[in-house]
Amino acid sequence: MAAAASSSASASSSSAASSAPARWGVLATIARVCASDDDLPPGQADLSLALAAPPGISVLTVPPRISPDPISMENFPAVLATDPSGLFLLHATQGPRTGPLMYGPNGFWWRRFVDAYFVCNARSATTFRLPDPEGNLGLVTQDGGRSFTVAGLQPIVGSDQAALLRYSSQTGQWTTEMLYYPLHGVRPWASHGVISQYSHSHLQQEQRLWWYDLSWGFLTCLSCEDEPDLDFVPLPPFKELPFISMAHYDIAMPEKPSVTVRSLKKPALRHGHRMVPWIGLHTCYQKESGEWLRRLDHEVCFDDIWSHRTYKALDLPKKIPNLAFVDPCSSDVVYFFLEDYIFGVDLCSASVCKCVPYTLDNPRPNLMSSKFVLPCKLF
């Protein structure tokens, strides 16, 4: 069985961390559905949130009136985005759809369920259902969460434009802004998800949305600007996956990127000499001129991790783990899932800095990946 701390050094750092409030947390993207409202806190609560000290995983619970459909690995209430203010975006289907037919790459197929999106407030335990939502949505907030904007991006096939759909809590309405689409005439954009990034410094606060296609790269913009510019940031060479449409995006899709302050971190696994796996961490960042650049911050061989005394102390097998996320407060630390444990590796030293067991109702441990957790920074 793996130890909770990998060394005396990590134990002392864990003790120091426990004496101060955690500045971040990890939220399971699959919410738990309770039997009835009686299982929620007293009052008019729409949800409950069981907080765990990071890297332990916190779980959201909602009642059947929010998520009425049976949970399966194809359909489940999903947390899509989090914000330091305590707001987060939840998708939950609302029963079978009666039409219309949708066209996919292999012919017609049904959108089986009615989609619904909720902006949830963890502090007040309330939810707000968005009217007439469009898919592939991200969340940004203003004034510390007192107002919010939800935005979705829809490239227009055969055009050099993309529609940015925005819902503002201040107006209570959806608006559409047409943006220049930098990838027109190449091939369809396979949208695999969106990341909401919150950047905070003493100079400015910036909220950016990143839509990603794991076979290509990222489309990004400052979605709250009056006339935002849509930029394309390609994936590092040889890190792209084969083109795959959203209709075929499922739990087999490899790990999504993780966002840290003012840059985008993309962990990637590769195999080197003797097929030994490596972990590399790439950063996309923007110059003052607006140009996006990319650099390789770390590349570590798993042989070095497995042979380190901190990993040996865990008594875990020398197996390739599943990527989980980049630590939102320390971008040199990447977390992984292996068996029933989540552990962090400091890529500067190839040492394990923290390891804890976790238990979730869904998914099974062998399916755990970054798709099923959202790291969030707290202020």
Q: Quick one: which H or E segment has residue 282?
A: strand 277-286
Q: Look up the pTM and report it.
A: 0.83
- The residues near 85 (Cβ < 8 Å, ≥ 6 apart) are 141, 144, 145
Q: What is the pLDDT of residue 268?
A: 55
Lowest mean pLDDT among 12-16, 23-27, 78-82, 337-341: 12-16
Question: Strand, coil or helix: what is 221?
Answer: strand
Please tell me which residue, 379 or 64, carries the higher pLDDT value: 64
- What is the tens place of the pLDDT at every residue in 250-292? 322 334 454 443 344 445 555 555 567 888 887 877 788 878 8
- What is the tens place of the pLDDT at every residue in 161-200? 999 999 999 999 999 999 999 998 778 887 788 888 766 5
Max CA pair span of the chain = 60
Question: What distance in Å separates the CA atoms of residue 84 and residue 68, rounded to the nearest whole number?
Answer: 28
